[in-house]
Amino acid sequence: MKPKQKLFILLLVLGILPYNFLAAQGDSLCVENQQSTTFTHQDREKMVQEVIVLLNEAKPPYFREPGAPRFLLTDRQGKFALGIGAVLQAVAEYDFDGIVKNVDFYPSYIPLKGATGVKNEFQMDISTSKIFIKMVGRNRVLGNILFYTAGDFRGSNNTFRLLNCYVQLRGFTFGYTYGGFMDLNATPTTVDFSGPGGCVFYRTTQFAYNYTGLKNWSFYGAIEMPNVDGIYETDSDLRYTSEAAAQRMPDFTGNIQYSWGPESQIRAAGIVRSMTYNSFNNKGDISAKSAIGWGVQLSSTFMLGRQFQIFAQGNYGHGIGQFFNDKGNLNLDLVPDTNNPEKMQAIPMMGWYAAIQYNIKPNLFVSSIYSAYRLYSENGWPVENSDFFRYGQYFAANVFWNITNCFQVGAEYLRGWRTGFLDKSTRHANRINVMVQYSL
């Protein structure tokens, strides 16, 4: 056997030839596994196509998630495949007539009056570029198996940050991924990485089950890792009257979804959480207390004719601040109860958005989004800081063009409004975003 033929068969056995290269070969190829199974070129091509279908089906229903990666490794029986890929995303943005002090567009970050004289700002960002590994396979007992892990560079000082790491099989999900109190299908596409401020979006460690045995219906339940953010109180001597504590209960989430057609659905979701904190009395004694948080959500996406698609979501609850795109940065799960210095409270809040997308061509679309969200005062909080965020609005209009399957560009206009609690003054900012994205 010639050296080139030996090298070719070795690469084939290891599974490291790209599937498009294999598909281009016309000769029959044989790979012998431990059970002496023989695969022809047609067998190999069929297995590769089945793997690609599995990889695409395993893609989370979120526009920022990649599909089948370009580079595949397969086992000798064709039952498991490992894909490695990356998404390079570069964004340039310009704020004018008001700025948002963040690379993402959070209206709550619009500076207060007199905080800065700067009304224009230019920024660039590439930290949302992603590296991912995806493995799919079939097992006689466990059925289809998916392992997926991904990360970007949004960690401290642009270090690596874990985004997903989980296993799915037989409807179960174990690991770190998107939470159950949200709806990826109903999330509109934006260049802005944060998205509409009234949208609920988060990731967490979880044990979940999704039942899809009834036609058009799905039922989901999860136990999720608790994480509580709060604004903890101090007295006049700067001694804490409350502080963060270890959590004693998981968060419980669930949703029910009805689907019709490939891109139309309605979903109702809920969350219940017990939030523990340490409380100090006037003698300095410490005790563990808790407050109950809860939330409800209704979301939908559906087609209007062949070219229009609608996205919408509404949320209301107590102590669910960290789950919102914008309010999630303000530590609003627990806040002081000014009527009882030893007690924390879960204040009410709401958020919603509506969006419409017009598909000009299969690879070209425009969309527009409006979102509003607010906090409600309760038990006298807040009392002193009249500038604390109360109400936000978010507007976006964008265009996306998929030049090829791997290359996408987009442009977007954003406008945000921020209103304080007591002074009722509203500040605003504008931003132009442009994006270039390439997937490997």
Scanning the structure block, which residue is given the tokens 């174990």?
A: 174
Tens digits of residue pLDDT in 60-86: 888 888 877 878 887 777 678 888 999
- Write out the DSSP string of 180-217: SSS-STTPPP-SSSS--TT-B--EEEEEEEEE--STTE
125-139, 234-248, 402-416: which is most confident: 402-416
Q: Supply the pLDDT for residue 44.
A: 63
What integer best gives the mean pLDDT of the chain?
86
Q: Supply the pLDDT for residue 55.
A: 74
Scanning the structure block, which residue is given the tokens 């969350």?
A: 271
Give all domains of the chain, ordered by start, each with its CATH number.
Answer: 88-126+155-439 (2.40.160.10)
Instruction: Confirm if 188 and 370 have CB atoms less than 8 A apart.
Output: no
74-83, 167-176, 284-293: which is most confident: 167-176
More confident residue, 307 or 76: 307
DSSP 235: -
pLDDT of 345 strictly over 60: yes
More confident residue, 93 or 142: 93
Tens digits of residue pLDDT in 12-57: 333 433 434 333 333 332 233 344 455 555 666 676 677 777 777 7
Instruction: Confirm if 192 and 411 have CB atoms less than 8 A apart.
Output: no
More confident residue, 263 or 21: 263
Scanning the structure block, which residue is given the tokens 């990485």?
A: 193
* pTM summary value: 0.86
Give the mean pLDDT of 179-194. 96
Q: Supply the pLDDT for residue 21.
A: 36
In the chain, the percentage of residues whose pLDDT exceeds 70 is: 86
More confident residue, 75 or 150: 150
205 closest CA partner among 243, 166, 242, 234: 166
pLDDT of 139 strictly over 50: yes
pLDDT of 5 strictly over 60: no
Give the mean pLDDT of 245-257. 97
